[in-house]
Chains A and B, each alone.
Chain A
Amino acid sequence: MVGIMNPVSREKLESLSSSVKFAIDLGSKLELCRQLKHDLLEEDAADLSEFLPRIFDLYSDPSGPVRKFATEIIGEIGVKHLEFVPELAPFLITVLEDATPAVARQSVACSIDLFRHTLEKIAIRGLYSSELDSDLESSWSWMLKLKEKIYSIAFQPGSGGIRLVALKFVEAVILLYTPNPNGSLEPPPNEGTSIEFNITWLRGGHPLLNVGDLSIEASQRLVLLLDQLRFPAVKSLTTSVIVVIINSLSAIAKKRPAYYGRILPVLLSLDPPSFVIKGVHVYGAHHALKNALLSCLKCTHPSAAPWRERILGALKEMKAGGLADLALNQVHKINGSVEEEKDDSLLIKEEKPLTKTYDAAGSNVGRKRSGTEGSSDLAEKDEVAGKRVKATPSASEESTKELNRNITVSQGDISSTQSSTRKVDVDTGPVQQLVGMFGALVAQGEKAVGSLGILISNISADLLAEVVMANMCNLPPTHPHTDTDDELLEDMCIVGSDTQAKYPPSFLADVISLSSTFPPIASMLNSQQSVPNKIVKTEGEEEVDVVADPNSALAYAGMAHEDENALLATDLPVSSNIVLPGMKIDPPTPSDIHDTGNLESGIPGLDSSFRNDGLSDTQAASSLVSTDIEDASQEQATSFGGKSPLHVLPSISIDRSEELSPKAAVTDSSSMVSSTATSVVSSCPFVLPKMSAPVVNLSEDQKDDVQKLAFVRIVEAYKQIAVAGGSQVRSSLLAYLGVELPSELELQKVLREHILSDYINHEGHELTLRVLYRLFGKAEDESDFLSCTTAASAYETFLLAVAETLRDSFPPSDKSLSKLLGEAPRLPKSVLNLLGCLCSPGISEKAEESQSGDRVTQGLSTVWSLILLRPPIRDVCLKIALQSAVHHLEEVRMKAIRLVANKLYPLQSIAQQIEEFAREMLLSVVNVDATERTGAEGLISESHKDSDLEKSSNEHQSMSSISKDISADVHQSDTSHSGSSPSVPEAQRCMSLYFALCTKKHSLFGQIFIIYGSASKEVKQAIHRHIPILVRTMGLSSDLLEIISDPPSGSENLLMQVLQTLTEGTVPSAELIFTIKKLFDSKLKDVEILVPVLPFLPGDEVLLLFPHLVNLPLDKFQAVLTRLLQGSAHSGPVLTPAEVLIAIHGIVPERDGIPLKKVTDACNACFEQRHIFTQQVLAKVLNQLVERIPLPLLFMRTVLQAIGAFPALVEFIMEILSRLVSKQIWQNPKLWVGFLKCALLTKPQSFSVLLQLPPPQLENALNRTAALKAPLVAHASQQNIRNSLPRSMLAVLGLAPDTQSSSQAQTSQAHTGDTSNSEKDAAVTEKSKESSSAS
């Protein structure tokens, strides 16, 4: 392919390179470069050489990325065509100084490749020919220059990011220059085959390269690298440099173990605290160092071996001990060096006899126990044994012996032993320390009882539970027997067969509760593992052994057989033996033992077990090995061994002894849980020593069943001993078991059933909380997704189940639910939904309707306490409460509103939210328009879909309840108001909360005024319904006054109602009156607003207002009238009826701008109330009015009405009329008409008045009212009257005909002048008559 000059491609290259140069934006430049690189690498050397300058040219580009790319291209060309090195190397050296770090770094990166290839080529060339051509030599010298340059960068402080790569370059060169022990020792047979280069190839000599020199240089460079990390140079390095150097060094150490000895001292002396650079960045370097050490630890090269110890030490110091062990194990596996482990197993086997020995010795115990002599002795020996077990496994033989001896000693005070031996133990967490402490105290017997009590009472139940559980692994596989210790067995039955609950009556209660709780669990959990044996000295000299023996099957103590050993019972039954003080040690009673042995689980073969009471056979039984020999033996030796001489018993290790159940191979000695599981399985009866045991393999399901049965048993047992106290510890233990065991879900179900079966008496709350806290702790603690998610899920299930049951089975008044939710560590969504359902019962829950009221109260009070107690979920709880506060059922809503407004709203922190929600709801009723409507519907359909989905997934209650509720609500509102505005109930639903808030914060009330104007009729109605209560509750405050003083337009009706409410039944304050008056004067000219306060205004002010009042619609005026006349309870009437009438008459329609009709209506209104506007009143009024100048317009009308209403007034009216005559009433045409009407009406009484008229007026009158004429003439014709009349009068009356013509002329004059007016008047009069008669 190569070599053929292709003009096309050349042209293409040229155009490419020039377009790179002239391309405008960076992206296209880089794209072109990529293309160019691709094409260039296809080219052959000859073409390239022509082309190189062009590429160098590219490097002059101002942009960094292009220069970087150019460098990259150069580098690749170089690698491909080493002959160009002399040209390229100078270029790369220049680039090293590039101002852009990335470009400079690229140069280093290219250099290493180039260097490696050049070196390889030269090396291999040299191998096959003794002469090297000068080209290569010059290439090499250029490469060396380049290398030196990069070295200088690597070791020059402060050269920034490029230094990292340069250091890496140094590493690479060191690796190249030194022989690779794992590499191929021989060079490839011919050039071109690619094997990893190894400098060893050049051992035979090379014209240019000297292996020795190269290696010297490499080691010099290494020294330089190492120096960087030495104090104080290291101080000046940045973390990144340190990290890179450490990584490089560890890589070198790993790949070139020869340098191990030089590198490690430096790494080990790197003091982590000393590289606190800038105070922060220790971790990176620290971690890098740790990893470097770990990887060094894994090195299997012999030269690494001596360093292992020190590395381990250093790692432990860095708290990476566990990792180190892991690494070490790997190494061991790799090396196949299992000797230690073998030792272990040996030890285990050899320990077996010790049990037996003990048994043998046991027979002597009775005698020997009398004294404590030798206890110190024992302590010493124990210590030794313990230590040996750990440090020198091979010494097991010896230790065994020692232990054996120990057995014969009574265990008096061995606490010292324990504490000292404890130290040997690697794992000393706080729990372990406590275990040790307990052991120590218990071992002291009576003396320590007090301190034991104090200790127990001072640590939390949870911690105590941890201690118990941690202690489980210390359970001996069998309890120690003496020939006489059968009573132990008797007591075992307590738990094992829950038939006889026999507890030690005395001994400190604490100890009892402790010991009585320990063994059962212990034995159930770890049938194989030992539990601490509490051996207590009784007053007598007998020992009280509190031993938990998982192998209840052993039941058969002290039988004729002398061999007691292989105690491999796997049964769950527990044998705990608490020897009561003063008890005699009786011969064994086998029957009991059998009882215990038989488990309900009924797993075949599990319950058979065997005892050999004899030394003879014990050795044979050595096949029993402890699973975790290390643990077991150490633990025993350390924490308990000292206590009871009998207890250093081997556990069974299934790993090692094939005869034992293979199952046990699964056993994880470190994890109690798993060991429990397996131990149950691994029971095998030992009938005879050396016999191989039948193994029962249980399936997972069976294991679960067994575990569950065990748990149920514990739970049941606890019920029986509830009276014994110490429930705290038991709760903790139950919780622990329920959570930690592998079949946790099953157990949690059992636990839940237990709790719920009698929440009160089983201390359900406490127990639930313990379980929850445990699960919660797990969920929070675990960093691993699996466990924390699982635990969180279990937590939720548990809490939800308990909460649901509490809700369903307890009366609403019960506080358990509230308490539980208040104290649970976390409330998941589903539980909150449950609460939401409680507070906002949905339609679906109609079944509970009868109770729902109380339930709502329960829910709300729970929400309230949650809001108070749990700030983090305050918002969510608040939402629940608020949702309930807009519930469609008024009962629910009112409860919630009471809570929100009275209890929650006063809380500063949430007031704002509540307000916003209420406002939103309030506005929602006003702003419902078409678009929002569709939006809401969309939402509904969505939530419906949701709920459907959830239903299908069996989730009825929890998840969707809120959304369902909401959607139901919205739905309702939708259907109920067909128009664009919500119905009244809907409006009330949304507004009630806001109103309630208004009573708490009056300024909120203003908002209602604002929305009022734009609200629909229904909404207004709803508002009006609320107002009286609301305003009454609020009373008059400055806020309210302020609102009143400036009501938004459109809110007048609302304002009126508010004012009415405010003035109802009380005297409005002066401020209120003032405000209203001011409002009337300034903004709102509507006199209506004054109406409510009218009774409280001074009469003269009212009179001033009167025209306005009259102008009101009639019905309102009537109301005003009533108010004015009744006045307030305190001040009495504002105006007398007479004053009112006079005021009405004082109105001049034209002047006051009030239609006459209004005035007449007002008059009529007065007349309607005859009981108020009585005859006397009218008389008084008329009397006054008649004196007015000018006469009121309606005067005559009123007179007429008065007569209509009270005919008895005629005489009085006549008087008025005559006064009118004297006032020349005819001069006022309107009144004149009225006068005449009145005269007509009151004839014949009015005749005398008529006759008082001057003749022209009389004539006028008669002309107008023809009906008068005849009667009047008749009247006047009476002699006595006629005589009194002047002639002119008679003429008018036609009684003196001569004068008639002249007077007629006059009359006609007057008539013409008045026609228009009089007609109008007539009409008015007519009407008023009608209305008055109508009433």
Chain B
Amino acid sequence: MKFRYAMVCSSNQNRSMEAHSLLKKQGFDVSSYGTGAHVKLPGPSLREPNVYEFGTPYKHMFDDLRRKDPELYKRNGILPMLKRNLSVKLAPQRWQDNAADGCFDIVFTFEEKVFDMVLEDLHNRDQVLLKSVLVINLEVKDNHEEAAIGARIALDLCEQIEAVESWEDSIDDIMVSFENKHRRKLLYSISFY
């Protein structure tokens, strides 16, 4: 695998982790991040979300929620999701706070808002390396089912990107063929490290 990938969503829980997990299994060099201010997980009602700081281990959240209401969190899929997550990595990471993780070649986002935040963050960094980074937004609805679908699509796209020698030369073609194949709109931008 010649490229380094980052999967980014807002809480680094569902969409990015689904994709992270899948790509990791396929042997990609992949990391994942969230761009939100906190990690928010659904609670009993909309007003009572479970809020954690980035960096709180998934395991901790898992235990916390299991203690609170195992039935609810099992039914709404949160516990299974956390379980999956803690098998992938330790804790959710915030994109903006982890610039030190180095350069990625490809950054996937799953929501336009996140896409914008990633781009803004990249633009605000000192672009000295002049190392290009492709930021792709694949709009994925934030629920478990769609996340699974989104991850598969992202994997497909990653494989296509991986297959070419340099994405800079062929990204437009990849996008066209991708959009024709999956009938999904993609948004991409190019930034530099």
Contacts and interface: CB of A to CB of B under 8 A. Distances in A.
B43 to A, nearest CB: 7
Contacts of B45: 742-745, 790, 794
Nearest to B177: A280
B49 interface: yes
Contacts of B179: 280
Nearest to B180: A280
B53 interface: no
Given A247-B189, A291-B119, A794-B45, A955 B172 contact: no
Interface stretch (B7-15, B24-32, B57-65, B89-97): B7-15
Interface in B152-193: 165-169, 171-172, 175-176, 179, 185-192
A738 to B, nearest CB: 12
B76 A789 contact: yes
A109 B129 contact: yes
A68 B158 CA distance: 23
Nearest to B73: A793
A168 interface: yes
A955 B130 contact: no
A789 B172 contact: no
B12 to A, nearest CB: 11
**B13, B41, B143: most-surrounded residue (chain A CB, <10 A):** B143
B60 to A, nearest CB: 19
A238 B166 CA distance: 15
B143 A161 contact: no
Interface in A785-831: 785-794, 796, 830
**A113, A284, A745, A787: most-surrounded residue (chain B CB, <10 A):** A284
A1162 interface: no
B40 A786 contact: yes
A421 to B, nearest CB: 34
B131 to A, nearest CB: 6
A105 interface: yes
A786 B13 CA distance: 11
A668 to B, nearest CB: 14
Contact of A283 (B42, B74, B185): B185
A169 B168 CA distance: 16
**B41, B75, B141, B142: most-surrounded residue (chain A CB, <10 A):** B75
Interface string A948-984: 0000011100000000000000000000000000000
B192 A161 contact: no
B99 interface: no
A168 B130 contact: yes
Nearest to A830: B75
A788 B172 contact: no
A742 B171 contact: no
Contacts of A112: 130
Contact residue range for chain A? 35 or more
A553 interface: no
A742 B46 CA distance: 7
Given A108-B130, A785-B42, A786-B49, A278 B176 contact: yes
B42 A789 contact: yes
B49 A240 contact: no
B142 A113 contact: no
Interface string A755-784: 000000000000000000000000110111
Interface in B37-92: 40-47, 49, 70-72, 74-78
Contact of B123 (A64, A247, A742): A247
B132 A164 contact: yes
Given A278-B172, A786-B41, A793-B75, A742 B141 contact: no
A1193 B13 CA distance: 97
Interface string B88-114: 000000000000000000000001100
B127 A789 contact: no
A281 interface: yes
B187 A102 contact: no
Contacts of A793: 42, 72, 75-76
A1221 to B, nearest CB: 103
A1331 B182 CA distance: 88
A507 B78 CA distance: 53
A796 B47 contact: no
Q: SS class of chain B's interface: helix, strand, loop or mixed?
A: mixed
A112 B193 CA distance: 13
Contact of B47 (A164, A247, A743, A785): A743
A113 B128 contact: yes
B143 A785 contact: yes
A792 B116 contact: no
Nearest to A791: B46
A394 interface: no
Nearest to A704: B47
B170 to A, nearest CB: 8
B189 A288 contact: yes
A1180 B59 CA distance: 101
A239 B127 CA distance: 21
A432 B47 CA distance: 27
A953 B74 contact: yes
Given A101-B166, A244-B190, A796-B75, A786 B42 contact: yes
Interface in A355-379: none
Contacts of A1136: none
A172 interface: yes
B176 A281 contact: yes
B190 A785 contact: no
A1299 interface: no
A281 B185 CA distance: 9
Contacts of A1186: none
Given A792-B143, A955-B71, A164 B168 contact: yes
Contact of A109 (B13, B43, B130, B188): B130
B32 to A, nearest CB: 15
**B13, B116, B142, B169: most-surrounded residue (chain A CB, <10 A):** B169
Given A108-B130, A168-B127, A100 B143 contact: no
A801 B32 CA distance: 38
A11 B10 CA distance: 52
B172 A238 contact: yes
Contact of B143 (A287, A788, A796): A788
A706 interface: no
A113 B7 CA distance: 29
Given A244-B190, A786-B49, A796-B75, A169 B130 contact: yes
A789 B166 contact: no
A794 B44 CA distance: 9
A278 B189 CA distance: 17
A1022 B185 CA distance: 59
Contacts of A794: 45
Contact of A287 (B11, B120, B187): B187
A160 interface: yes
A795 B186 CA distance: 31
B46 A787 contact: yes
B169 A160 contact: yes
Contacts of A467: none
Given A742-B46, A955-B71, A239 B130 contact: no
A1008 to B, nearest CB: 41
A431 to B, nearest CB: 22
Given A108-B130, A283-B187, A953-B70, A744 B172 contact: no
Contacts of A108: 130
A529 to B, nearest CB: 21
Given A742-B46, A793-B76, A247 B175 contact: no
7 contacts: A102-B166, A113-B130, A240-B190, A283-B187, A785-B13, A785-B142, A954-B71
The 8 closest A-B pairs by CB, nearest first: A161-B168, A785-B142, A161-B169, A789-B42, A109-B130, A793-B76, A101-B166, A745-B45
Interface of A: 64, 100-102, 105, 108-109, 112-113, 160-162, 164-165, 168-169, 172, 238-240, 243-244, 247, 251, 277-278, 280-281, 283-284, 287-288, 291, 295, 742-745, 779-780, 782-794, 796, 830, 953-955
Given A168-B130, A788-B142, 7 more contacts: A165-B132, A172-B127, A291-B119, A295-B120, A786-B46, A789-B77, A789-B78
